Structures are given as C-alpha cells and as structure tokens.
Structure 1
Amino acid sequence: MKEHKGVTALLRAAEQERRCAIGDGGAIYHALRRRVKALELASPYPNLFADVRYWDSLNPEECSLHMIRALAELHPQWTFAGLSAACVYGYQHSYALHDGSVIIASPKGSGHGSAEQLRRLYMHVVPRQKVRGIAVTSPSRTLIDCAAMPFSNALAIYDSALRAGHVAIADIETLMPTTNCDTASVAKLLKHADPRRENGGESWTYASIIELGYAEPSLQVEFTNPDNPGMPYRVDFCWRLADGRIIVAEYDGMAKYVDASNPHRASLQAKLNYERRREHSLTEQGVSTIMHLFFEDVRTTARLEARLSEAGVPKIR
C-alpha cells in the first residue's frame, strides 16, 4: 500500500516511545485501519496500532508494555493492576502468562471492560502510585493479586519484588486482612518467597521442585574456590542428606554450550574449562551429585521428577 506520511510519522514516534500508536479518530485512523486490513499493521487493542514487523520483533512482555504505555496516555485515570502492574515494575515472570489482555483496578466491579482485551479487578480502595509516569497498584497489592496465578508462576514475581526492595513480607501480611484474596495462596507464596534466588528461572525451578513434593533445598550455598578464595563457588540449590551425601542442582536455562564450530570457540573452551575446575572442586569438597537442570527439564513434570529421583533428592510427600 502507498506510504501515508502521517501514518509513518505516527508509527515512528510511537516506536521511539516504546508504545503503540494511537489513532486520532479522523483521516489518519481510517488510513491505519486500511493498513490493518492489508496486514501491514497490527492492532492488539482498539485504536492501538503498530507496524507488523516491529510488533513481531517484540517479546510478549514488551507487547504488553507497549499497550500499557499507550493506554496510560489515553486513560490517565486508569490504574494498572495484576500482571500489567508487575510488567511496569519490571518484575520477572514467564512470558506464557501473557494472553493479550490488559488489567486495571476498578472500584466499580470486576470482569471485562468495553474492549475484549480489558480485564478489571475489583478493589474497594485502589492503592495507586506512579511508576515511570504510569499509575499502578502498590507493590503489596500487585503481589496479592498475582497470587491468583499458578504457584510456579507467581513465585518468580514475589522473588523479583523482594530482590528489588520494593516490598517486605510484612507489608503484604498487613494488607491481606483488608483484601478479598485467596489467603492460602498468598500465605504459601510468602512462606517460600526469597530474594536470594537470582532470576525467574531459579524461582520457577524451586517452585516446581516444591510442587512435586521434594525436600526444600538450601539456596546459594557457598563452597571454597581454591583458584580465588575471595570469590567462593555458589550453587543454586543444595541438599545435605542425613547419610552425608551432598546433592547440588544448578538451573542453566537454555543449554549453555553451543556448536564448537562457532566463532567464539575460544571463549566457549574457557567456559568449559572453568566448569570442569568448578565441578572438580565441588566434588573434592564432598558433593556427591551435581545436576544441571535446563528449561526443557523443568517444563516437563515427568522429566523433572525423573532427574530429581535419579539424583537421589528425597521426596517428603
């Protein structure tokens, strides 16, 4: 379709601000709609637009944030809540939680809004504050609302908020009695939330281990590094068993090592050598089993259970 200078300028300005473009309700809006029908533009929410190639380059969290920033400009009275607020705060979470919807707090009722993608969470009193110019619910209220997610997804958000220093467990405990929420789910998350887990992958892995009924591991346990005593080796998860065995598990996300023919082979070899020295040192310090867990292991329940069982991690229920 022939270039429309007004549309192009609108889209580029929006991209620079990391948000969706907003239709003007006039001639430019109709030009935008024609380009949506021609599959040149995406329209993830009524009156919001983005170049298809640009939109497809974004991950699900970035897509949500682009919508939120545009809607915050259109509706400054809105207060974003739940997963939408967690995105604005920058709390780590699984991309799988994103379904194209936007969540706002509402003192008038819950359910969907006028747009199919808009979800409302009822709150008699909305604890509102601004983060980077966007109105969101308070960290405590955001975490309480995120407790409605599956435990393995919500724990990453709780850990991330604690790591950021935005909230303390006591803050959430204080708010709970005045909030209509699933208190059992919130209490379970508060019991296990821990800022020592360094990323969302570790939180997800820990939650999956607990959900399968295995013994709770110790976190970020340190072992001596003979090559650099001031920088001890730290392991993600550690079980010290009554019979003297020590089991260590590391969450490595996607596979660490790629084809050795890649142009960074020297760097890859250095990493491999470091891992060998590290594992040798851990073994010398009594570690009997070192288990590397990858994304694919944690994603599949049966596969994770098999890895834990094979390593000898005790099951307590």
Structure 2
Amino acid sequence: MRKHDRVSRLLEEAEREHRCAIGGINDSLYYALRRRVDSLELVCPYPNLYASSQYWNSLTLDERQHHVVGALMLRHPKWTFAGLTAACIYGFQHSYSLHDGTVHIASTGAVTGRDHKRLHRIYMSGIPQWQCRGIPVTSPARTLVDCASLPFSHALAIYDSALRMRRVTDGDIRTIALTSGCDEDPVLRLLRYADPGSENGGESVTRGRIIECGFAVPSLQVEFDNPNNPDMRYRVDYCWRLYDGRIIAAEYDGMAKYADVSNMNRASLQAKLDYERRRERHLKEQHVSVVHLFYEDVMNPERLTAKLMDAGVPKIQ
C-alpha cells in the first residue's frame, strides 16, 4: 500500500515510546489506519490503537500488553489498571493463555454495559492506587485479591510470583480481602497453598493442578546428593516422602529445558540428555522414583491423575 506520511510518523513515534499508536476519530487518519488493518499491514489490538504487524509480531505477550496500556494511559490519564493487567505490569508470572486482549481497570462507578467488550471494570469502593514503571495500578495486595477470580492453578502462579518477588505479604493480602467486601474464600484458599519456593509460573500451575486433582501437596525444590559433585546437589521440582519410606519426585519438563541449543556456549543436546539420565540414575540409587510431567499432562486432569496414581502419589481427596 502507498506510504502515508502521517501514519508513518504516528507509528514511528509510538514505537520509540514503546506503546501502540493512537488513531483519529472519523477523520482521514482513522480511515488510513483502518485500510492498513484490512490489508494486514497493521494490527488493531484494542479499539483505535495500532501497530505495524511486523513490529507487533516481534513482541512478547507481556510487551504487547504494556504497549496497549502505554497508549491507554495517554487516552485515559485517570484510569487505574487492575486485575490481570496490573499483575502483568508488576511482572508477576502468569500463563500467557490468560491473555485474550482484555484490559482490566478499577472503577468506583457502576458497570453500565456501554464499554467495549475488551474493557473490564472491577468495582471498588475506593481505589488503592500505586505506581509501577510510571503506570497507575492498584496496590499489589488488591491486584492479587482481584486475580483470585482466575482459575485456581493460574491464580496460584501469580500469588507464588508476587510472594517470591516480595512485592506483597500474606498479611497485606488478608487485610485487603477482609476489608474490600470481596469473596474471601478463593483468596484464603490461594494463600493456604501459595509458596514463594516455586521457581517459575509453569511449576506453580502444575502444582495447582496437582492440588486440584486431589493429591497431597508436594514439597518444593527438595535436594538430594550428587555423587559426582557434592557441591551441586540435585533438586527436584516436587517431592513426596511417604510413611512407608518411599520417596516420589515429579519433574515438570518444559521442552525449552532440552531444545535450546542455539547458543554455542551451552552444552549440546546430547550432553543435556546424558546429564538427565545420570541424574535420574543417582536419584534412583537414593530410592527416589521420578515421574516426568509434560504440558499435555498438566492440561489434562485425567492424564495427570493417571500418571501420579501410577507413580504412587497419595490422594487426600
């Protein structure tokens, strides 16, 4: 499509500021932008916000959310971002599957139904406004209380991450839950199981699924002897020590653990696999049986239950 100077300047300025471009309203610029969306030259991730398709595709999902929020700050300087949007701005780890293009903001007024479907207002009698990276957001505690409405395993990842980052305390969250008039039960359940010892979001979601399937809560990052290098002990993601002396470990295996061989300074794929086999043999010699959990297992309760039952992990529900 023929170059449009005003559109080009608009996009260049937005990219420099790490945000989406803001279009006009029923003017020549608006129609020029819409034509380029129709031709797939541009994307429109939120009403009247734009980015070049090439630039947008180079961004992570978190970066895309920040670009949308950066533009909305200019359009709506009185908005305070809340819920999952605020969690993203704080950098709390969460599943990318939660992103559906919705922007969450705090609101003291009634929800009228006149907002665009990609805008979700969270009612609050008073908004505990903070600043994070120059962006107005609800406080970390209030953000976590609102994220309790997400599916349990996904919310657990956010709680683990926030506690691990020390952005909030258990007491902060409990206080907001008690005083905000929200449903306390999901918040208290999440606090019961939240553990800052979880190393990443994938491990947190997996632990949440294990709990949802009714299994005993595992210990995290338990260490075992490494006879080849006593100073570099083996750690397992999840561990159950049973009354009869058996020890069961579970590992959440993301493909990136094995597949990233692009860096020539890293060990080869074969060396990684050899290490894993040696590690598992050493664990077995310490009477530790290991079950490997993959993404497909975690997302399928029947598969996850079957694997853990076969491994001998006890059910408590």
CA contact (8 A) 1:45 1:115 kept: no
Q: Deviations over 1:63-115 (max 9, x none)?
A: 32221111012212110000000010011111111121101000112465532
Aligned counterpart, 2:253: 252
TM alignment of 1:41-80, pairs within 5 A = 41-80=42-81
TM alignment of 1:78-227, pairs within 5 A = 78-110=79-111, 112=113, 114-227=115-228
Aligned counterpart, 2:316: 316
Residue identity (%): 60
CA contact (8 A) 1:109 1:121 kept: no
More deviation, 297-306/30-39: 30-39
Q: Secondary structure at the match of 1:253?
A: coil
Q: Do the aligned partners of residues 112 and 199 (structure 1) sit closer, same or farther apart at CA in structure 2, a change above 3 Å counting?
A: farther
Aligned counterpart, 1:15: 15
Q: Separation in 2 of the partners of 1:55 and 1:265?
A: 30
Q: Deviations over 1:256-314 (max 9, x none)?
A: 44599xx9996112212221221122122221x11111111101111111110111111
Q: Separation in 2 of the partners of 1:5 and 1:51?
A: 14
In the alignment, structure 1 segments of 5+ residues that lack a partner are none
Q: Separation in 2 of the partners of 1:68 and 1:309?
A: 44
More deviation, 55-64/103-112: 55-64
Counterpart of 1:298, as a letter, is V
Counterpart of 1:308, as a letter, is L
CA contact (8 A) 1:20 1:49 kept: yes
Aligned counterpart, 1:32: 33
Q: Separation in 2 of the partners of 1:99 and 1:255?
A: 24
Counterpart of 2:7, as a letter, is V
Counterpart of 2:242, as a letter, is L
More deviation, 290-299/103-112: 103-112
Aligned counterpart, 2:230: 229
Q: Separation in 1 of the partners of 2:110 and 2:47?
A: 22
**Structure 1 residue ranges (4+ consecutive) displaced by more than 4 angstroms after TM superposition:** 263-266
Q: RMSD of the alignment, in Å? A: 2.2
Kindly state the Cα deviation for residue 155 of structure 1 after the two structures are TM-superposed: 0.3
Q: Secondary structure at the match of 2:245?
A: coil
Aligned counterpart, 1:294: 294
Q: Separation in 2 of the partners of 1:265 and 1:70?
A: 39
Kindly state the Cα deviation for residue 34 of structure 1 after the two structures are TM-superposed: 2.5
Using structure 1 for the length normalisation, give the TM-score: 0.93
Q: Do the aligned partners of residues 291 and 112 (structure 1) sit closer, same or farther apart at CA in structure 2, a change above 3 Å counting?
A: farther
Q: Secondary structure at the match of 1:162?
A: helix
Counterpart of 2:9, as a letter, is A
Q: Separation in 1 of the partners of 2:251 and 2:139?
A: 33
Aligned counterpart, 1:271: 272
Aligned counterpart, 1:305: 305
Q: Do the aligned partners of residues 265 and 23 (structure 1) sit closer, same or farther apart at CA in structure 2, a change above 3 Å counting?
A: closer
Counterpart of 2:4, as a letter, is H
Q: Do the aligned partners of residues 272 and 119 (structure 1) sit closer, same or farther apart at CA in structure 2, a change above 3 Å counting?
A: same
Counterpart of 1:221, as a letter, is V
Counterpart of 2:309, as a letter, is S
Counterpart of 2:284, as a letter, is T
Q: Separation in 1 of the partners of 2:114 and 2:168?
A: 30
More deviation, 103-112/115-124: 103-112
Counterpart of 2:206, as a letter, is T
CA contact (8 A) 1:81 1:142 kept: yes
Q: Separation in 2 of the partners of 1:215 and 1:116?
A: 40
Aligned counterpart, 1:280: 281
Counterpart of 1:284, as a letter, is E
Counterpart of 1:186, as a letter, is V
Q: Do the aligned partners of residues 14 and 42 (structure 1) sit closer, same or farther apart at CA in structure 2, a change above 3 Å counting?
A: same
More deviation, 145-154/250-259: 250-259
In the alignment, structure 2 segments of 5+ residues that lack a partner are none
* Equivalent residues, number: 315
Kindly state the Cα deviation for residue 189 of structure 1 after the two structures are TM-superposed: 0.1
Q: Separation in 1 of the partners of 2:225 and 2:210?
A: 26
Counterpart of 1:296, as a letter, is E
Q: Separation in 1 of the partners of 2:30 and 2:256?
A: 46
Q: Separation in 2 of the partners of 1:239 and 1:151?
A: 22
CA contact (8 A) 1:224 1:233 kept: yes
Q: Separation in 1 of the partners of 2:159 and 2:19?
A: 26
Aligned counterpart, 1:6: 6
